[in-house]
Amino acid sequence: MKIGVLGTGMVGDAIASKLVSLGHEVTMGSREANSPKAKEWSKHAGSQAKAGNFADAARFGELLFNCTNGANSVSALQAAGEGNLGDKTLIDVANVLPPDPSRIGSLGEEIQKTFPRLRVVKTLNTINCQVMVDPTRVPGAHTVFLCGNDDGAKKSASGLLEAFGWKDVVDLGDITNARATEAYLPLWLALWKKLGTLDFNIGVVRRS
């Protein structure tokens, strides 16, 4: 599949690299077409990997990942261009860091409201990027959450999560549930400080 990854940070790098390793064609997007980080990534990731600006990545992808800085994700998506985003599935992994209490609702909802045709799926934002693409870094059963308004988009996202190695994917419902997973960030930060490792996650335990 052709996938556009918007974002050149450690998350964009981890996700784009994993997608290429799974056989997908990926364009990584940045504010600048000549981003040294994106160019460096594409040089090392192989012939399936290309670099461009946000609009190039959005135009290229049949499915998109938002791995941009959460406080600036809406601007990044505006730069990608509404026409290029269209009604594609956008997997949004971003968080606003530090959390901004003046913001109403969640970033996932804000993106969905700003681009109503886009099929936004919020997922993976509760986990460090190395664990996102390799859940076996954390032993035992643990959980990734997902939410969004479009069932087809959630099915596509779940397929990719399974390919990443996720076994326990909990669909929380519509995109308003992004409030819950984004609100987890302060607890994630407290756990990181306490545990001193990024290789951790939470698991939902059910009575079977």
Ligand X SMILES: NC(=O)c1ccc[n+]([C@@H]2O[C@H](COP(=O)([O-])OP(=O)(O)OC[C@H]3O[C@@H](n4cnc5c(N)ncnc54)[C@H](OP(=O)(O)O)[C@@H]3O)[C@@H](O)[C@H]2O)c1
178 lines the binding site for ligand X (CB under 6 A): no
Task: Kindly state the smallest distance separating residue 8's Cβ from ligand X, in Å.
Answer: 4
Q: Long-range contact list for 160-166, CB < 8 A, 24+ apart?
A: 160/19, 160/63, 160/91, 161/123, 161/124, 163/22, 164/18, 164/132, 164/133, 164/134, 164/135, 165/134, 165/135, 165/136, 166/135
Which range in 39-47, 87-95, 108-116, 155-163 contacts ligand X by CB under 6 A? 87-95
125 lines the binding site for ligand X (CB under 6 A): yes
Under 8 Å CB-to-CB from 136, ≥6 apart: which residues?
165
Residue 48 or 68: the one with the smaller Cβ distance to ligand X is: 68
Q: Could you say which of 27, 42, 48, 68 contacts ligand X (CB under 6 A)? A: 68
Residue 113 and residue 91 in contact, taking contact as beta carbons nearer than 8 Å: no
Which range in 43-51, 123-131, 159-167, 169-177 contacts ligand X by CB under 6 A? 123-131
What residues pair up with 4 in beta bridges, in sequence order?
27, 64
**Residue whose C-beta lies closest to ligand X:** 9
Binding site for ligand X (CB under 6 A): 7-12, 30-32, 35, 67-70, 72, 75-76, 93-95, 97, 125, 128-129
